[in-house]
Amino acid sequence: MGQPVRDYLLTLCVTAAVTYLLTGPVRKFAIAIGAMPAIRARDVHREPTPRLGGIAMFGGLCAGLIVADHLYNLNSVFELSSEPRALLSGAALIWLIGVLDDKFELDALIKLGGQMIAAAVMVIQGLTILWLPIPGVGTVALTQWQGTLLTVALVVITINAVNFVDGLDGLASGMVCIAAAAFFLYTYRLWYGYGIEAAAPATLFAAVLMGMCLGFLPHNLHPARIFMGDSGSMLIGLVLAAGAISVTGQVDPDLMNLFVGGERAATHAMLPVFIPLLLPLTIIAIPAADLVLAIVRRTWNGQSPFAADRGHLHHRLLEIGHSHSRSVLIMYFWSALIAFGAVGYSVHSTSLWIVLVIVGLSAVGLVLLLMPRFTPRAPRWAEAFVPPRYRRRRRAVAEREAGAEDQQPSQGAEMGSQAPERTPVAVGVSGVNGATAIGPRSRLSNHDRADSSR
Question: Model confidence over 100-110: pLDDT tens digits?
Answer: 999 888 888 99
Locate the domains of the chain by residue range.
2-307, 380-453
Contact 61, 234 (CB under 8 A): no
Backbone angles phi, psi at 131, to 5 degrees: -155, 165
Question: Model confidence over 339-398: pLDDT tens digits?
Answer: 888 777 777 655 677 778 878 887 877 776 666 655 556 667 766 766 565 555 555 555
Average pLDDT, the chain: 75
Tell me the Ramachandran region of residue 241: left when phi exceeds 0, alpha when psi lies from -120 to 50, beta otherwise: alpha
What share of the chain in percent tops pLDDT 90? 30
Mean pLDDT of the 63-72 span:
94
Mean pLDDT of the 405-433 span:
44
- Range with the poorest average pLDDT among 5-14, 185-194, 215-224: 185-194
Contact 42, 83 (CB under 8 A): no
Residue 280 has pLDDT above 70, yes or no: no
Residue 256 has pLDDT above 80, yes or no: no
Please give the model's pTM, rounded to 2 decimal places: 0.74
Contact 422, 414 (CB under 8 A): yes
**Helical spans, DSSP H, in 279-312:** 285-300
Q: Work out the pLDDT band at 412, boundaries 50, 70, 90.
A: very low
Contact 199, 155 (CB under 8 A): no
Most confident range (mean pLDDT) of 244-248, 284-288, 442-446 is 244-248
Residue 163 has pLDDT above 70, yes or no: yes
Show Cβ contacts of residue 3 under 8 Å, excluding neighbours closer than 6 positions: 72, 73
